[in-house]
Every structure is written in structure tokens, then in C-alpha cells.
Chains A and B, each alone.
Chain A
């Protein structure tokens, strides 16, 4: 076993071979995703701690419109599927397909952001603040704005990145690898929402 492991180490790391079997852009993007994912993991772990500690955490279904949050989830998942299709189109050389699918992804991201703005303004109108809220534990508002705000910022930057890449693709200055990296980032944003949706809105 130890000899086999040693052999793998020598084969992979002795030089001349890339153990990741991927370009540096992809390795760097995955490194970024892991570190950014840990940031969200820290937020969610901290949220879990605050919630266990709290004596009066609000009932989410009384605060949020769960059907609307479900619709936001549907839109983000759909935009992830269109982005995956854009990556596939780029790799098969379907230039028009890439532009079409990226445009659909931008639209999905923009709708998600619009709905989040509506949700924020609605809750702020009802009295939600970073330091207080009318439903229970004061930390609820702080965690809501922190976690959804941080995620929303990622969505916003994702939409901007996709728009820039779509323009570059239309001008012929973007590569299929660039589209794939953009897709990795967008799927990561979707992945984080899966955790936020479950932990913050449903559990």
C-alpha cells in the first residue's frame, strides 16, 4: 500500500507531469472556488451557531415568501443549465449557441437579482435591520443581510463577468476555456444558493 502510494507520488509529482491534468486557469479557478466556498461555509457555520444559541429564532415561513424564494431557486438552477449548455456549445464550436445560452444566463441572473432586491426592500419596509427585526432574535436580520447580500454580490459580479465574456465571444477574443471558467464561477454561485436556500430558508 505504502509502496503503491509512493509510486503514485513519484509518477505524479516527480516533474514533467501535471497531477491535476488541467490548465493553470482551471486549477486557479478551483482554488478560488474552494477558498470562496470556505468563506460561505464559515458564514453558514456561524449562522448555525447563532441559531442554536438563540432562544427565539423567527419562523422563516412567516417572514419569507417561500414560493417566491422557490421561484428564485428555479431561475438560478435554470440559468446554471443554460450556462452549462453555453460551455458545451463553446467546446463544440457552436458560436451562435454560446451567445444565445449566455444571454439566457444573463437574463436569469438579472431576474434573480431583481427578485432579491424586491425581497430586501420588502423586508426592510417591514422593519428588518442589521441590528433588529420585528420577528425575533436580532441576529436574524444580521445573518439574512450578510449571507444573502454576500451571495447576491456574487450573482451580480457573475452577471457582469458573463456579459463581458459574451461581448468578448461575439468579438472573437474569448476562448472556449474562458467560457468554461466563467461557467465554473456561475455554477459555484448556484451551488452556494443550494446551501443558503436549505439552511436559511427551509431548515
Chain B
């Protein structure tokens, strides 16, 4: 960890822990709240990604790592995830339309 002094405090970790728990409670609340499906999915994915960024950024110290590590993770996971999504989802809708 290159920025131990910045990130290495217990207080920060327990603050992130509190935020993660609060976001989980928000998700559970939304799960039982009446709202349109599209909005529900959008909000849930947003909260999920926020939680992922908190864990990767602070618990895994990605926020403090060199640019090349951050880029490797970003390109490796997010871009490939997007490719998977854009390859699969249109096909799924196409097949659904055929039935």
C-alpha cells in the first residue's frame, strides 16, 4: 500500500463499514418499496456499484494505488463486463422476440 498513512486508520475503515451497512439497509428497503421495475433495477445497480467502489477503493486501497494498477482493474473488469453485457443482452432480447 503506497499511502499507508492516508488509508491506514481504523477510523476510516469503520466509517466505510458503516456506509456499506447503510447502503445494504437502503437496498433492503427498496426491495420492499413499490416502484417501477426499470427504476428499481437502475437504483439497485447504482447502489451495488457504489458499494463495490467503496470496497475496492478503501478496503483494497485501490484509490491509493498507482494509476497503472487502477487502469488495469478498470479495463480488466469494467470494460470486459460491459462487453459481456452488450454481447449477451441484445441476443437475449432477440431470442425472446422470436418466441
Contact = CB atoms under 8 A, between A and B. Distances in A.
Nearest to B1: A180
A66 B28 contact: yes
Interface of A: 12, 19-22, 26-27, 30-31, 33-35, 37-38, 41-42, 45-46, 48-49, 52-53, 61, 66, 70, 73-74, 77-78, 80-81, 83-85, 87-88, 91-92, 180, 183-184, 187-188, 190-191, 194-195, 198-199, 202-203
A77 B58 CA distance: 13
B76 A52 contact: no
Contact of B2 (A21, A34, A191, A199): A21
Contacts of A20: 65-66, 68-69, 72
A81 B59 contact: yes
A34 B52 CA distance: 14
Contact of A45 (B17, B44, B85): B85
A107 B63 CA distance: 28
Contact of B76 (A37, A45, A77, A194): A37
B66 A19 contact: yes
Contacts of B77: 34, 37-38, 41
A20 B68 CA distance: 5
B51 A34 contact: no
Interface in B36-66: 40-41, 44-45, 47-48, 51-52, 55-56, 58-60, 65-66
Interface in B55-98: 55-56, 58-60, 65-66, 68-69, 72-73, 76-77, 80-81, 84-85, 88-89, 91-93, 95-96
A192 B45 CA distance: 14
Contacts of A21: 2, 65-66, 68-69
Contacts of A31: 72
Contacts, number: 134
Contact of B31 (A19, A22, A202): A202
A101 B58 CA distance: 17
A198 B55 contact: no
Given A20-B65, A183-B59, A203-B41, 20 more contacts: A12-B68, A20-B72, A22-B66, A34-B72, A48-B89, A52-B96, A53-B96, A61-B31, A77-B17, A80-B59, A81-B14, A81-B17, A85-B14, A88-B8, A88-B9, A188-B60, A190-B55, A194-B51, A194-B52, A198-B48
Contacts of B40: 203
17 contacts: A19-B68, A27-B69, A35-B76, A38-B80, A45-B81, A49-B91, A52-B92, A74-B24, A78-B17, A87-B1, A88-B9, A92-B8, A184-B60, A187-B60, A195-B52, A202-B27, A203-B41
Interface in B5-41: 7-10, 13-14, 16-17, 20-21, 24, 27-28, 31, 40-41
